């Protein structure tokens, strides 16, 4: 597969604290995505990146920021975590931006905010 590693795999934190999730890929894919997965909603796009320092918002971006300083790393930050952000977060990569390319997913981060 695309060699995608997410860290941490599990995290429990308190409301109001900042949280950063990391996605690391070894396939040199230019495009990277952050999704959240919640029961009854499927996968929803938070932010995506189309290159180093190039990022854009997805459909559920409020309360999240991202950064990409290297091709292989894409960070997702919850600036002040809220209980509504309790979710499973998946990172994905694609070789190109076009919708005819498969997405390769990491194993996910289970985040609980108390």
| Chain positions contacting other proteins, by CB under 8 A | 35, 40-45, 48, 58-59, 90, 97-108
Kindly write down the DSSP assignment for every residue of the chain, as one continuous string.
Answer: ---EEEE-SEEEE-TT--EEEEEEESS--SEEEEEEEETTTEEEEEEEEEETTEEEE-TT-TTEEEEEEETTEEEEEESS--GGG-EEEEEEEESSSSTTS--EE---EEEEE-
Which residue number, 14 or 107, has a Cβ lying nearer to other proteins? 107
Which residue number, 10 or 70, has a Cβ lying nearer to other proteins? 10
Q: How far apart are CA 66 and CA 56, in angstroms?
A: 9
To the nearest whole angstrom, how small is the minimum distance from the Cβ of residue 3 to other proteins? 12
To the nearest whole angstrom, how small is the minimum distance from the Cβ of residue 88 to other proteins? 9
Which residue number, 39 or 114, has a Cβ lying nearer to other proteins? 39
Which residue number, 63 or 108, has a Cβ lying nearer to other proteins? 108
């Amino acid at each position: 597969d695309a060699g995608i590693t997410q860290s941490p795999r599990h995290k429990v934190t308190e409301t109001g604290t900042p949280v950063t999730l990391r996605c690391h890929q070894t396939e040199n894919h230019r495009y990277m995505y952050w999704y959240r997965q919640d029961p009854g909603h499927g996968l929803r796009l938070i932010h995506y990146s189309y290159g180093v320092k190039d990022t854009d918002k997805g459909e559920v971006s409020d309360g999240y920021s991202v950064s990409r300083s290297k091709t292989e790393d894409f960070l997702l930050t919850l600036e002040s975590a809220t209980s509504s952000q309790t979710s499973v977060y998946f990172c994905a990569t694609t070789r190109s931006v076009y919708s005819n390319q498969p997405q390769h997913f990491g194993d996910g981060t289970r985040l609980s905010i108390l």
